[in-house]
């Protein structure tokens, strides 16, 4: 089944926040953000802005009726700066005017004076100064120290991974209306409607029942609208509340880029001990996460880094310590993978390092350490229904990785100006919110008297196809065709207390709740059918919009059954609530069973480097992925390809650059480059592993949003290997992204020259 | 008729907004055609792509453009097509292909892709997959990873190939690619152009070409102005041969240049070079004059023409003068150009078989990106000896420059590794790159060296090193 919004998407008829018809008397808001990264506010001049044409209000922290606080995990983030500014881009005032242009023009008139304070942009520097979001955390298994002390083959080094701009093509936005009861109704482009509702309630000092949040769809989220949509919606609501007029706030791209947080950059130190059998005996890593100026979701992101620091490997002795470091950058936030990719990069770098020193391929070490059924992850959960090795073996056989290596080798022997590199990347990713509380969802189903059905869940559609999957769940549960089912916008009045659509878990959680709601209805309806048909309830089922008795169609159709139910005064609505069973985790001992299940897979990536220019192309990506029993292969393939390309972008061309003053240099699409159609790999070959799926996955179809992104890490190592093929002495620090600059500087390190061979021969001839 | 008159989808419209107003805002806000999206307002994402039709020979020619950078004035007398003007009752083959191949996820970029692909369908060249994909080289999608879009594009190219090439417009309408009203447009457009005059101009006007620099740099200011819009001046758009020179009108777009047979004849590797310049919709708007006058130290066309020792014809009131392009650049964004003076055309000597030309550009993303460093060279080689070479380089100094010293030392030399060493060493001494988002100063030094090497390797393949003992 195709994405249910496809038709309106291609016709330009799908509505996004910025497309909503304007209500009468709508005002437009623009955020004045701090131009400085750190300082004490001495003075802010708002008078000139207030005097500008069309300006209705200029709002600052002191106008906030409730609490000036939007911190979700930790209360450390004001909605509007007060007293101090902590990063460049921090919202400090809000201008409300007749039009967007007038609001932006007035913004130019605001002057902020500060007493500068030291600016820290680097995570290690922050850690050295003791600037931490919370106390460091450590995950440990076995006794790594024993091995490091008594073992020869120990390799150590450092890595850096850069940030990543979400670059949802639809920027952040919200549109708020005051209601007659003194509350607000808000349209928000958010992944977390309840989060937004809670934030607004806190900021306006209103009970949550006075705040209604509605989300139609997002033009992309990728984690960037999980927590960071909240301040935007709070600001729009605040302005609507104060002016008693509808207020629209949609960020222009440049504002969005410098005001919002991104994927966390990480710096790390590793040590790895590899045995003669290429088993990883011990591994130790210290992570420095650049959290930015406020906690945002950083503690949770950090936690997931720890959950995934051994990727898909079983390492008997390991330890990871992680510091969440407070810097003067915009608060970094969720981004597809949520700290997992950052953790995995380091172990892959450590393996690549060891392999280079030992003169083997990284694959040789990877192969010997893939986790097996029943083994424990460092946090105590066992790998059950473990598909890691199955995916790995499938990859090797299906695409004959040995042949691929041979072809690369042959190519490299023949070519001097271009070199190829191949890398294999296994992935293991845990599914569930690691914060156990969030693993709940509810759903609402109405059947109308004409037999058509309208459903609501807490899931937000952002392109990932969750609404399509929800419709599929109902199609199967109620045996109805898609056209008889309509899915509503995500709305806090229909679905209360929803978790954000994140952690790849949206379809599982909401789908399971929906299944239960449908089950309640079918149970009720079939009981009625049993009475009408005088056949035992247990023999009845719904199929093709009819009641079946023991596989035989009866005369009772769906439509008749619904009419009869209404006549009998049966409820045709059902609501259900689902919680993921068995998940738990204790931070005190850093042990537990945080995940419903794991998703596994393996990929091989082939890259070609132009050794004259330092540019590269990704030729091929080969994937064997564990989808469980995919309920929608078109959507799941789309998530896989999209995730891979986003991961490759993060590893190659996407470079978030701040200067030492905390000013974003890569501040527009002209300086921050995401993959375009020519940058996408030549081929992405995807194999859907054939397995029984997992009972905790919706319709046995495993979560797909995040895991494929991490295959992109293989692109880094493919390019790395190509550089080494050209210059075996190359000095290539494990520093991502691997931009053309890093490639060229790596290639031409340690005296490398393309013409060496030739020159030598000429000199010899001359002699 | 006063105001700016054009056909928006199927309707004739006249706007009295300032001619500098941004077309995207006219479409979304004033006409409430909300299918066209805003992703960046900088020409870099393609979410706002539209098609622009203008009379061409007997028929009409459509090109995709980014409406976020387009002054309303440049729509005057044209057919402006948004997605609303492409929809039929049932999905068109382009829309069908996008749906069937799962090429839409969040959908925010999708309209832009559909519009670009229809632009491909309307193209004059033989439809194939590579051209279909090239048509969306200015569209960014953050969700799909493009593979599904490639599959859709391939399917569209395949179907289109079966339609045949005669009477493309008619066939597209017949086969449901376009709504029926498209067939009435050529005639209506001619009628419209006859009765409507160009908007008048304020004093102290800027000269506006495609707007792809001006509207990125100062959109707010531009949108309230009434300037001198030269984009549609037919005299300034000509690309022609005059004696042993090619003359390029300042308002000719990069696309005009690429498609000109006179121009292409001198440059065997033109496709490779042009593909590296911006994107299809931007090339359809970006004028040569705009590129030269914008004076960016990394302007691609500027670097291209510097190596050709081009000259500029300038016009102020009625006074004409001609200067060397190399003398045009006085300092960072400082030009030898008087107030109100206009660049009319650029001229350069046509290459013959003894002239070799190469253009190189490296950026973070190979396509649709501004160069970290770019460089071009024209060499005259007689009997294996270089008579003269002119190297230009961008991104390595405050102005786009000719590497005079490096160029000079090639005269009378045979191409070889020793010469490459000398040329790159000389170039090193004439440049002064700075570190910025496009790369560190050290990188730009290394990169220029490599790109000069690349010139030699491209032009003299015999210099390529081969791996020993294969
Ligand atoms: C997304 C994007 C990608 C881009 N990629 C590239 C790229 O890859 N390579 C590259 O080189 N450039 C690139 N550019 C920059 C731009 O497209 C070019 O510089 C283009 O050639 C400018 O032409 P224009 O007609 O649009 O200029 P305008 O914006 O119309 O004008 C630019 C300047 O030139 C002046 N001007 C224009 N014509 C004349 C004239 N005839 N006489 C006197 N003054 C004149 C104007 O007053 C203004 O100062 C890109 C721009 C965008 C938006
Ligand atoms: S809005 Fe991005 S190109 Fe116009
Ligand atoms: S489908 Fe979301 S950006 Fe393309």
Token representation of residue B285: 């708007």
Interchain contact, B104 vs A10, CB within 8 Å: yes
Please tell me the predicted confidence (pLDDT) of residue B465. 82
User: Which H or E element spans position B257?
Assistant: helix B254-259
| Contact list, A686 vs chain B (CB under 8 Å) | none
The closest of B347, B349, B348, B350 to B265, measured between CA atoms, is B350
The alpha carbon of B41 and the centre of ligand 2 are apart by a number of angstroms equal to: 4
Quickly list H helices, A244-383: 253-259, 298-307, 340-358, 362-367
Integer Cα distance of A613 and B362 in angstroms: 7
Mean pLDDT score, A315-321:
97
Binding site membership of A397 for ligand 3 (Cβ less than 6 Å): no
Binding site membership of A463 for ligand 3 (Cβ less than 6 Å): yes
With tokens 């080689």, the residue in question is B381
Query: Which of A3, A666, A675 is closest, CB to CB, to B437?
Result: A666
* Chain A residue at shortest CA distance from B139: A676
Comparison of pLDDT for B198 and A698, the residue scoring more: A698
What confidence tens digit (pLDDT) does each residue in A492-548 have?
999 999 999 999 999 999 999 999 999 999 999 999 999 999 999 999 999 999 999
Residue A2 touches chain B, beta carbons under 8 Å: yes
Residues of A assigned a catalytic role: 706
What confidence tens digit (pLDDT) does each residue in B325-365 have?
999 999 998 999 999 899 999 999 999 999 999 999 999 99
Mutation test of ligand 1: which of B290, B340, B376 has the most ligand atoms closer than 8 Å to its C-beta? B290
The alpha carbon of A169 and the centre of ligand 1 are apart by a number of angstroms equal to: 24
How many C-beta atoms lie closer than 10 Å to residue A567's C-beta? 10
CA angle B235, B73, B25 (to 5 degrees): 150
Integer Cα distance of B386 and B395 in angstroms: 26
User: Which H or E element spans position A389?
Assistant: helix A388-398
CA angle A147, A148, A150 (to 5 degrees): 65
What confidence tens digit (pLDDT) does each residue in A353-390 have?
999 999 999 999 999 999 999 999 999 999 999 999 99
Instruction: Tell me the percentage of chain B whose pLDDT exceeds 70.
Output: 97
What confidence tens digit (pLDDT) does each residue in A240-277 have?
999 999 999 999 999 999 999 999 999 999 999 999 99
User: Which H or E element spans position B280?
Assistant: helix B280-283
**Nearest CA residue ID for atom 3, ligand 2:** B43
| Contact list, A52 vs chain B (CB under 8 Å) | none
Instruction: Tell me the percentage of chain A whose pLDDT exceeds 90.
Output: 97
Query: Which of B111, B147, B364 is closest, CB to CB, to A12?
Result: B111
Nearest-Cα distance to chain A for B251, in Å, is 24
Please tell me the predicted confidence (pLDDT) of residue B469. 43
Q: Are A69 and A137 contacting, i.e. CB atoms less than 8 angstroms apart?
A: no
Angle, to 10 degrees, between the axis of helix A633-651 and the axis of helix B147-161? 120
Binding site membership of B223 for ligand 3 (Cβ less than 6 Å): no
What confidence tens digit (pLDDT) does each residue in B95-149 have?
999 999 999 999 999 999 999 999 999 998 999 999 999 999 999 999 999 999 9
pTM for the model: 0.97
Interchain contact, A416 vs B220, CB within 8 Å: no
Instruction: Tell me the percentage of chain A whose pLDDT exceeds 70.
Output: 98
* Chain A residue at shortest CA distance from B85: A11
Integer Cα distance of B426 and B423 in angstroms: 5
Integer Cα distance of A272 and A351 in angstroms: 8
Binding site membership of B109 for ligand 3 (Cβ less than 6 Å): yes
Mean pLDDT score, A702-708:
98
pLDDT of B200 over the 70 cut: no
């Amino acid at each position: 089944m195709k994405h249910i919004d496809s038709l309106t998407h291609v016709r330009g008829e799908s509505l996004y926040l910025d497309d909503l018809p304007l209500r009468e008397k709508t005002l437009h808001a623009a955020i004045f953000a701090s131009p400085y990264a750190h300082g004490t506010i001495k003075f802010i001049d708002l008078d000139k802005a207030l005097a500008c044409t069309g300006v209705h209000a200029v709002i600052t922290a002191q106008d906030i009726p409730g609490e000036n606080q939007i911190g979700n995990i930790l209360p450390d983030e004001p909605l509007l700066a007060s007293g101090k500014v902590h990063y460049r881009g921090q919202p400090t005032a809000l201008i409300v005017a007749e039009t967007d242009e007038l609001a932006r023009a007035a913004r130019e008139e605001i002057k902020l004076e500060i007493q500068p304070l030291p600016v820290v942009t680097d995570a290690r520097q922050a850690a050295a100064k003791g600037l931490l979001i919370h106390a460091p955390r450590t995950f440990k298994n076995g006794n790594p120290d024993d091995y490091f002390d008594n073992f020869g083959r120990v390799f150590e080094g450092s890595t850096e991974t850069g940030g990543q701009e979400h670059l949802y093509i639809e920027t952040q936005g919200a549109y708020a209306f005051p209601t007659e009861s003194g509350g607000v109704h808000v349209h928000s482009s958010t992944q977390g409607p309840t989060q937004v509702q809670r934030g607004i309630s806190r900021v306006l000092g209103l009970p949550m029942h006075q705040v209604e949040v509605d989300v139609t769809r997002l033009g992309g989220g990728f984690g960037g609208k999980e927590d960071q949509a909240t301040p935007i919606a709070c600001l729009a609501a605040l302005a609507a509340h104060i002016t008693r007029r509808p207020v629209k706030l949609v960020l222009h791209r440049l504002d969005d880029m410098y005001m919002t947080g991104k994927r966390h950059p990480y710096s790390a130190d590793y040590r790895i001990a590899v045995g003669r059998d290429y088993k990883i005996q011990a591994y130790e890593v210290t992570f420095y996460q650049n959290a930015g100026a406020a906690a945002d979701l950083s503690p949770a992101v950090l936690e997931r880094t720890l959950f995934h620091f051994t990727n898909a490997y079983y390492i008997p002795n390991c330890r990871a310590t992680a510091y969440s470091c407070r810097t003067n950058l915009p608060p970094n936030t969720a981004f597809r993978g949520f700290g997992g990719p950052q953790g995995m990069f380091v172990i892959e770098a450590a393996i690549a390092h060891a392999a280079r020193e030992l003169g083997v391929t990284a694959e040789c070490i990877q192969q010997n350490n893939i986790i097996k059924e029943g083994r424990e992850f460092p946090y105590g959960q066992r790998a059950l229904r473990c598909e890691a090795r199955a995916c790995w073996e499938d990859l090797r056989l299906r695409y004959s990785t040995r042949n691929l290596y041979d072809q690369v080798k042959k190519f490299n022997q023949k070519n001097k100006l271009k070199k190829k590199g191949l890398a294999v990347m296994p992935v293991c990713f845990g599914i569930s919110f690691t914060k156990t509380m969030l693993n709940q969802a509810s759903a609402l189903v109405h059947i109308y008297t004409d037999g058509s059905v309208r459903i609501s869940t807490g899931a937000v559609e952002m392109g990932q196809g969750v609404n399509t999957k929800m419709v599929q769940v109902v199609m199967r549960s109620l045996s109805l065709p898609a056209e008889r089912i309509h899915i509503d916008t995500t709305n806090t009045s229909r679905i209360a207390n929803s978790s954000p659509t994140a952690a790849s878990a949206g379809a599982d959680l909401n789908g399971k709740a929906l299944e239960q709601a449908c089950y309640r209805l079918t149970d009720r309806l079939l009981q009625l059918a049993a009475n009408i048909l005088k056949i035992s309830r247990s023999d009845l089922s719904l199929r093709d919009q009819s009641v079946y008795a023991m596989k035989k169609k009866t005369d009772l159709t769906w439509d008749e059954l619904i009419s009869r139910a209404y006549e009998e005064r049966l409820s045709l609505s059902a609501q259900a609530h689902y919680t993921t069973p068995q998940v738990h985790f204790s931070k005190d001992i850093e042990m537990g069973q945080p995940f419903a299940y794991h998703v596994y897979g393996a990929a091989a990536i082939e890259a070609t480097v132009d050794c004259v220019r330092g540019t590269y192309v990704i030729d091929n990506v080969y994937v064997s992925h564990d989808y469980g029993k995919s309920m929608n292969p078109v959507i799941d393939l789309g998530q896989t390809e999209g995730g891979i390309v986003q991961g490759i972008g993060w590893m190659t061309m996407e470079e978030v650059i701040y200067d030492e003053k905390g000013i974003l240099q890569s501040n527009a699409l002209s300086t921050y480059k995401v993959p375009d159609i020519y940058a996408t790999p030549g081929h992405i070959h995807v194999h859907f592993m054939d397995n029984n799926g997992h009972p905790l996955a919706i319709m046995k179809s495993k979560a797909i949003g995040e895991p494929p992104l991490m295959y992109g890490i293989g692109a880094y190592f493919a390019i790395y290997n190509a550089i080494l093929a050209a210059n075996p002495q190359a000095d290539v620090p494990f520093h991502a992204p691997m931009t053309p600059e890093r490639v060229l500087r790596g290639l031409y390190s340690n005296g490398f020259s393309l013409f060496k061979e030739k020159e030598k021969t000429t000199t010899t001839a001359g002699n | 008729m006063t105001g700016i008159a054009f056909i928006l989808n199927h309707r004739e419209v006249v706007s009295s907004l300032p001619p500098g107003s941004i077309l995207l805002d006219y479409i979304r806000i004033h006409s409430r055609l909300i299918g066209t999206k805003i992703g960046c307002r900088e020409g870099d994402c393609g979410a706002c792509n539209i098609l622009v039709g203008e009379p061409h020979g007997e028929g009409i020619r459509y090109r995709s453009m980014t409406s976020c950078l387009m002054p309303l004035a440049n729509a005057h007398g044209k057919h402006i097509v948004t997605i609303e003007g492409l929809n039929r009752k049932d999905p068109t083959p382009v829309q069908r292909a996008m749906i069937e191949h799962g090429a839409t996820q969040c959908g925010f970029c999708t309209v832009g892709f559909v519009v670009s692909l229809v632009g491909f369908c309307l193209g004059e060249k033989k439809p194939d997959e590579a051209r279909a994909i090239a048509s969306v080289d200015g569209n960014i999608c953050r969700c799909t990873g493009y593979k599904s879009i490639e599959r859709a594009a391939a399917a569209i190219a395949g179907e289109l190939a079966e339609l045949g090439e005669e009477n493309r417009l008619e066939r597209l309408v017949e086969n449901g690619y376009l709504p029926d009203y498209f067939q009435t447009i050529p005639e209506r457009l001619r009628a419209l152009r006859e009765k409507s005059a160009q908007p008048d101009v304020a004093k102290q006007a800027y000269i506006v070409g495609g707007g792809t620099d001006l509207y990125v740099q100062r959109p707010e200011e531009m949108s309230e102005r009434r300037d001198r819009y030269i984009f549609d001046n037919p005299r300034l758009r000509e690309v022609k041969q005059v004696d042993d020179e090619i003359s390029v009108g300042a308002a000719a777009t990069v696309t005009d240049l690429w498609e000109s047979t006179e121009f292409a004849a001198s440059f065997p590797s033109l496709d490779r070079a042009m593909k590296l310049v911006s994107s299809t919709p931007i090339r359809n708007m970006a004028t040569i004059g705009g590129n030269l006058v914008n004076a960016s130290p990394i302007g691609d066309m500027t670097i291209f023409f510097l190596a050709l020792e081009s000259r500029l014809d300038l016009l102020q009131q009625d006074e004409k003068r001609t200067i060397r392009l190399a003398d045009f650049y006085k300092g960072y964004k400082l030009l030898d150009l008087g107030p109100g003076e206009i660049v009319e055309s650029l001229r350069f000597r046509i290459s013959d078989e003894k002239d070799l030309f190469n253009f190189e550009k490296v950026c973070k993303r190979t396509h649709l990106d501004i160069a970290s460093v770019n460089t071009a060279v024209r060499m005259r080689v007689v009997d294996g000896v270089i008579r003269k070479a002119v190297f230009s380089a961008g991104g390595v100094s405050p102005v786009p420059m000719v590497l005079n010293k490096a160029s000079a030392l090639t005269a009378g030399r045979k191409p070889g590794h020793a010469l490459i060493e000398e040329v790159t060493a000389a170039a090193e001494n004439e440049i002064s790159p700075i570190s910025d988002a496009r790369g560190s100063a050290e990188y730009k030094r290394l990169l220029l060296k490599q790109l000069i090497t690349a010139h030699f390797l491209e032009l003299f393949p015999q210099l390529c090193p081969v791996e020993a003992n294969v």
